[in-house]
Chain A
C-alpha cells in the first residue's frame, strides 16, 4: 500500500507543477500591457511603472517564474490589487463558505440520487423507472444559472420560504445547495441505476435469491454494496463540476465564497487574486482526485497491484 501511495503522490507532482505554470502564464496572455489593463487607459506612466515593479513584471521571465514558484510553495500568492490584502488570506477567509456550499450540495445530491437510482433499477422498465430516468435527464440538461433563479422565484418570491441571498443560517444554505447539487444528483442517479442493474444480473445475487434471502437484502446487502465503487468514483470526479458550479451558484445567491471572489476579481481586473483563486480551485480538485484514487485502492485491492 505504501508503494501505491508513493507512486500516486509522485504522479501528482508534475501535474501540480504544470497547473502552477499555466496559472503563472495567465497574466502574460493579457493582450497588450497587463499592467495598463489593470489600471485602465487613464493611468499615469509613473503608476504603471510602480505597479509593474510591485508585481515583478519588469524582471526577466525566468526570474518572475522562480519568484512565483517560491511564493506558491510558501503559500504567498501576492497582494490583491482591489483590497491591498494578501491573496492567500482573502481566499482562506472565503474558503469555508465554498466548502460548506460544496459539501451541502454533495449531501443533497447523494440523499436524493441514490434512493432514486436504486428504485429505478429495481423497478426497471416500469413507470417509476421511466419517471426517474426522465427526471434525471432533465436534471442533467438544466443549467445551474437557470435552476437557481427559478428556485429563487418559486421558494423565495412566491412562497417566501427561503431567503434569496446571503449566508449565515441553514435557510440561507437550502436554495444554493439544491441548485448546485441538482446536476450532480441527476448524474449520480443515472450512474446508481446502471451500476445496481449490472450487479442485480450477477450470479451471486441470483444465488442469494435462490437461498431465499429477502429482496431488500438481495438489493441492499449484495447488489448495492458492490455497485458502490463506480458510484464513489463518480462522486469524486464530479467534485470538480461542483467547484466550477459554485462560481455560478455563489454569483446567483450572493454567497460569499471563493467563486464569487473570482468573479469580483475578474470584473476588477485584479489578476493576482484571479490567479490565486484559479490555482487554489485546481489544487483542491487535483487533491480530491488523488484522495479518490487512494480510496479506490482501499476499496478494490486489485488496483494497488496494477
Chain B
C-alpha cells in the first residue's frame, strides 16, 4: 500500500513538475474551431469549451493542487504543532484558551468555515490557502496536545528539567519529536484533504479563478457541458481521485509502519 501510494503521488508530482514543459500545448491557448472536441491522438483528453487542451490544463492544474497541498500542510502542521505543544505542556489558562478556540473551530463541520471565510474575503488562491489553513491547524494542535500531555510526564523529561534545561529546549528537543511520526501521518492525509478542499471551493466558484487551470475550476466549467461533452468532467475528476487515492494509500501505509497496532486489525 505504501509503495503504491509513493508511486501514484510520485508520478503525479513528476507530472506537475515537468508535464507542462513537455506538453506541446499551452494550457491557455485556444482553438475555438475545435471547442469541445472529443479525445484524439493529438489531444488525448480532448478540448474544453474554449478549445483548450485538457491534458495540458490537467498537468498545469496539478501544480495548483500540489502548491495548495504543500502550503496548507506545512503552515497548518507548524502552527498546530506549536500551539498544541504549548497548550499541552503549560496547561492552565493557556491550554484552556487554545482548547476553547479548537472547540469553536471544530463546531463548524468540514469545509463550512472555509466556505464562509472565502465567501467574505473574496475568491482567490491566497484566500483559499488562508481559509484551509485556518481549518487545518486544529487537527494537528489536538493531536500534538494529546501527545505532549503524555510525553511531559516521561522520566527523561523530568530528568531534563532537573538538569536545568530551558522550557523551549525541553519542548523542541524532548517533547515535540515524540509527536512527529503522528504529525507526518496526519500531514499526508491532510494534504489529500487540502487538495479536495481547494477543488471543492474552486468547483463552487470560490477558489482559483479562471483562466488559471485548477481541477475544481475545470470541473465547474464542465458542468454546463455534462450532456454534450462529458470528457470535460471525466479527466480533471479522475486526476483528483487518483492523487487523493495515492495520498490515502501513502497515509495508511505510513500509519501501518509507524503504529503496528493499527495494522493488527487489517
Contacts and interface: CB of A to CB of B under 8 A. Distances in A.
B107 A149 contact: no
A149 B200 CA distance: 14
Given A30-B120, A145-B200, A145-B216, A244 B111 contact: yes
Interface stretch (B38-46, B169-177, B179-187, B243-251): B243-251
B interface SS class = helix
B109 A15 contact: no
Nearest to A242: B109
Contact of B241 (A142, A153, A193, A267): A142
B240 A146 contact: yes
Contacts of B121: 29-31
A145 B101 CA distance: 30
Interface string B111-137: 111011101111000000000000000
Nearest to B192: A141
Interface string B174-212: 000000000000000000100010011001111000000
Interface residues of A, number: 52
B26 interface: no
Interface residues of B, number: 48
Nearest to B115: A247
Given A146-B233, A146-B241, A271 B109 contact: no
B126 to A, nearest CB: 12
A122 interface: no
Interface string B221-255: 01100110010011011101110110011001000
A29 B240 CA distance: 31
Contacts of A194: 265-266
A61 interface: no
Nearest to B117: A29
Contacts of B249: 137
Given A143-B237, A149-B233, A274 B216 contact: no
A33 to B, nearest CB: 13
Contact of A248 (B122, B200, B266): B200
Nearest to A248: B200
B108 interface: yes
Interface in A137-176: 137-138, 140-146, 149-150, 152-153, 157
Nearest to B245: A141
Contacts of B236: 146
A109 interface: no
A259 B56 CA distance: 33
Contacts of A262: 115
A140 B120 contact: no
A143 B199 contact: yes
A214 B172 CA distance: 55
Given A142-B241, A282-B107, A198 B248 contact: no
Contact of A141 (B112, B200, B219, B248): B248
Interface in A61-80: none
Contacts of B205: 267
B248 A140 contact: yes
A241 interface: yes
B248 to A, nearest CB: 6
A244 B265 contact: no
Nearest to A288: B109
A197 interface: yes
A149 B241 contact: no
Interface string A262-306: 110011000100100010011001100000000000000000000
A281 B112 contact: yes
A271 B120 contact: yes
A125 B32 CA distance: 53
Most buried by A among B121, B204, B227, B244: B204
Contacts of A240: 109-110, 112
A22 interface: yes
Most buried by A among B107, B109, B196: B109
B103 interface: yes
Contacts of A248: 200, 203-204
Given A18-B103, A278-B115, 16 more contacts: A15-B103, A16-B107, A22-B113, A26-B119, A26-B120, A29-B117, A31-B122, A34-B120, A137-B245, A140-B248, A143-B244, A243-B110, A262-B115, A278-B113, A285-B108, A286-B107
Closest 6 CB pairs of A and B: A240-B109, A146-B237, A18-B104, A244-B110, A141-B245, A141-B244
